[in-house]
Chains A and B, each alone.
Chain A
């Protein structure tokens, strides 16, 4: 494919006696979903550009169990969690960054009482840190003057009260950031959470992702920015449903920054 990206694997680092600064938790979506894989690659481009010493678990990574937990299967969740924690602890991981707010919430809040205690960051928080620390320079020409609206992922926003980091990062694109009527605490869910991504919705008048896309379209955006692979899929489908895919792109913040 396009540019080469460098993705060190934890097992190799360990063999060489190196301890990376941060572990990039790719997540199942980031590893296997065609759309989300692009987000993973864009985020790695940023990490490479900023010379971040990172690694991924690669084939040693497994599903966090978050979706199983939200579906009600606490057994499966805890089996997954214990397995992952064993691997993470063996590598003495201290800091984790992920592009998936569901993994972020799960590892940050639900792993500690099972023995997995790490500092966990959402990629927008880490990018914010890189920019503020002067490690990453964003030229900010690509999207100058474009209209971007940001959709808060539930598991970053309401679930963990992080509303600023994604907005701080977005401001570096020099685009006009336009808020939807429902934003931050009152943001409407994209419809994928709570394991809904993996099932058909119950009977109703319309699909949640279409309603949320309507919220976004009201801001007359060129781009809908997301911070979650599932939100990205849901809103991309919503934009197609409204036949606006020729005019409006749905992009992750990592992609917007990698392109800027």
Chain B
């Protein structure tokens, strides 16, 4: 009987990790549905970007208020998780504050965690106010699950921080009372600069028995909360806390203005321009390759980094709030492009799960069912969305791939653009002027 809590803890812990791992596997499988793209070059630059942009949050602070608040929660989150290690060991072995022998350092650490927890608590409350009461457009425009999800994360953090501080306060009071298992021979384990005044006064009159029940309850709620949070990530915009790092690592390193040249097109153009090529040649035999599809109409036509982008997006909306089309009331929203891509990818993934690992055509695709032509044609390719994204997502690359599909597979460009393109084809300029007149400006 004595070991029941330990066993229960271990089972819970392993169960949570296994469930999380299953979802991570699904996540990786879904991302790998994308086309191949090589992002293994320039390793040093990539690593330094991860340190600067992901770890160092250099792009967050371009908007100073949100950036500063976010850094508090981020640092708090990472450091308080160090304490998680002790909580897990205590849970498995039934120990109490197993790192106490670190002495002064231990008290210093626990004290800092408390201060951080308090700062996180305050910041998260400010975040909630920003999100719900200040009518900031990029938050006010979120609807449905996205709106709920954003708030859920904040509620999670508030509850976890309060549980953490209550746990400390009850633990401290038990140590003061000299309760068995809690009290240390050589003084109090930990320092409690926050919970000692925020929560401790509420507990002073409680009996030792009540305190033990309270301490055990909040301890369990806290660890269960953390394991739930871990497993909530997969269903949430909050995946960015994990994916921001690989996403920044694998980001495009070319100048923002450089669009890739489609290799499949290069081959065909070479063939067209080659005077020796036989225009009536039959396709080579033994080529089992399907003819290449130009551009993207669904998530599986995008590359895997674009799909990683979709899972990494935390829906902050900085892109949309910088988009000239969106600012002038057009339908295009770069954030929606990323959210649509993720939603469709999830749908495709579920389809594969439901059909024994094979995708069965569901009559839907990213183009049309999620992203409309009107959105795609409103883009000015100005790169504002790419520039502002704190985690190096490129909504523009998806927009461009879908335009390519519209034009090259469906010939569905707006009429004016078709006119422009036939001018280029016929006289080498987007306007109907003769190429022979190209030098007339000199004498005008």
Contact = CB atoms under 8 A, between A and B. Distances in A.
Interface of A: 1, 5, 7, 9, 26, 28, 30-33, 37, 40-41, 44, 56, 58-59, 61-63, 65, 67-76, 78-80, 82, 105, 109-110, 113-114, 154-155, 158-161, 185-186, 188-189, 191-196, 198-208, 211-212
B441 interface: yes
The CB with the most chain A CB atoms within 10 A, among B256, B272, B273, is that of B256
6 contacts: A70-B259, A75-B268, A114-B266, A158-B382, A159-B256, A189-B324
A17 to B, nearest CB: 22
Contacts of A105: 255, 257-258
Nearest to A111: B261
Main secondary structure of the interface of B (DSSP, over half): helix
A59 B261 contact: no
- Interface size band for B: 35 or more
Interface stretch (B89-97, B121-129, B414-422): B414-422
Given A73-B421, A82-B273, A37 B438 contact: no
Nearest to A5: B442
Given A32-B433, A191-B324, A193-B380, A59 B439 contact: yes
Given A74-B404, A114-B261, A192 B380 contact: yes
B438 A188 contact: no
Given A72-B404, A72-B407, A109 B324 contact: no
Interface stretch (B74-82, B174-182, B208-216, B327-335): B327-335
Contacts of A63: 424, 428-430
B328 A28 contact: no
B425 A76 contact: yes
B282 interface: no
Contacts of B384: 154, 158, 186, 188-189
A74 B408 contact: yes
The CB with the most chain B CB atoms within 10 A, among A9, A61, A79, A189, is that of A189
A56 B439 contact: yes
A99 B417 CA distance: 23
B255 A109 contact: yes
Contacts of A161: 255-256
A101 B417 CA distance: 20
B391 interface: no
B433 A198 contact: no
Interface in B315-348: 322, 324-325, 327-332
A159 B255 contact: yes
A189 to B, nearest CB: 4
Given A194-B382, A199-B377, A204-B329, A72 B257 contact: no
Contact of B417 (A75, A110, A186, A199): A199
Contacts of B257: 105, 109, 154-155, 158-160
B19 interface: no
Interface string B384-402: 1011100000000000100
Given A41-B441, A110-B259, A196-B380, A74 B294 contact: yes
Contacts of A76: 421, 424-425
Contact of A198 (B327, B416, B439, B441): B416
A75 B416 contact: no
Contacts of B440: 31
A59 to B, nearest CB: 5
A91 B262 CA distance: 27
B180 to A, nearest CB: 61
B7 interface: no
B85 to A, nearest CB: 40
A258 B72 CA distance: 52
B189 interface: no
Nearest to B433: A32
B349 to A, nearest CB: 28
B428 A205 contact: no
Contacts of B269: 75, 78-79, 82
Contact of A186 (B322, B381, B404): B322
Across chains A and B, which 9 residue pairs bring their CB atoms closest together, nearest first? A159-B257, A205-B329, A72-B403, A194-B381, A62-B428, A189-B382, A72-B407, A204-B329, A109-B258
B443 to A, nearest CB: 8
Interface in B359-394: 374, 377-384, 386-388
Given A31-B440, A193-B380, A211-B327, 12 more contacts: A28-B429, A40-B441, A62-B435, A67-B430, A68-B420, A71-B420, A74-B265, A110-B258, A159-B256, A194-B379, A201-B328, A204-B330
A114 B383 CA distance: 23
Contacts of A26: 438, 441
A208 B438 contact: no
Contacts of A154: 257, 380-384
